[in-house]
Structure formats: structure tokens, C-alpha cells
Amino acid sequence: DTEVTQTPKHLVMGMTNKKSLKCEQHMGHRAMYWYKQKAKKPPELMFVYSYEKLSINESVPSRFSPECPNSSLLNLHLHALQPEDSALYLCASSFPRRGNTGELFFGEGSRLTVL
């Protein structure tokens, strides 16, 4: 199994809603990432979890709240978002640290629209 699965594929929410994005991988990876991507732009790193601990937070607003319940799951909780938060949210995983080639495996993304 070499997949990273993200749900939902599409999400439309109002600025007062609370929703969550989910990501799952069963490749034994111990590093999981959230990226935000605008059209025709590179992914922007939001958060990194390494061995289920938050290791990198790229100064993301608190309306985005990540959670890593176990080594296979990664959630992104959304609350009081702004229209400019509309984007494709990509989850990725990799083997962390040294000793592996370490490339990122990406999910298909969740297309978020904030009204």
C-alpha cells in the first residue's frame, strides 16, 4: 500500500463553521505533513509531525489546528476561517530523519472553499 488518503476531496464551509480534514497512510511513515497550495504555486508548509509529535509549525494562524492521533492519521481542524484560506490542502508523509531517501508521498488533496 503506497497511498496517502485524504478526505474529504472537496469542502465548502462558512466562516463560522468548524470542520476537519483527515489524512491516513499505512506505509509505516513516521513523518506527516500539512501543506497549503494555491493555484499554480508550490506547496507551502504548514505543519510537520515526526513520531506523532509536532516538530514544525510554520507560524500558521490558530484557526488551523493540527492533530496526530497515531502514526497513521493526521487531522487538520478548521475553525473561523477566512475566504483567503480557500486553497488545496495537501497531506504528505515520509520516512523521517536519516537513513532513508525520505521523499514525500502526497495525497490527492482536499479542495477547501471558504464562503
Partner 1 sequence: AQTVTQSQPEMSVQEAETVTLSCTYDTSENNYYLFWYKQPPSRQMILVIRQEAYKQQNATENRFSVNFQKAAKSFSLKISDSQLGDTAMYFCAFMKLSLVGNQFYFGTGTSLTVIP
- Most distant CA pair in the chain, distance: 44
Q: Which C-beta is closer to partner 1: that of 70 or that of 98?
A: 98
Q: Where are the alpha helices (DSSP H) in 6-113?
A: none
Peptide bond connecting 8 to the previous residue in cis, omega within 30 degrees of 0: yes
67 near partner 1 (CB under 8 A): no
Residue choice 11, 24, 43, 87 for contact with partner 1 (CB under 8 A): 43
Nearer to partner 1, 2 or 16 (CB): 2
- For residue 92 the three cell numbers come to 504528505
List phi, psi (to 5°) of 24: -140, 140
Q: Which CB sits closer to partner 1, 26 or 41?
A: 41
41 exposed, middle or buried (CB, 10 Å; 0-12, 13-18, 19+)? exposed
Shortest distance, position 108 Cβ to partner 1, whole Å: 5
When asked if residue 94 is in the footprint of partner 1 (CB under 8 A), the reply is yes
Among 26, 38, 41, 77, binds partner 1 (CB under 8 A): 41
Contact 107, 6 (CB under 8 A): yes
Q: Contact residues for partner 1 (CB under 8 A)?
A: 31, 40-43, 45, 48-50, 55-56, 88, 90, 92, 94, 96-98, 101-109
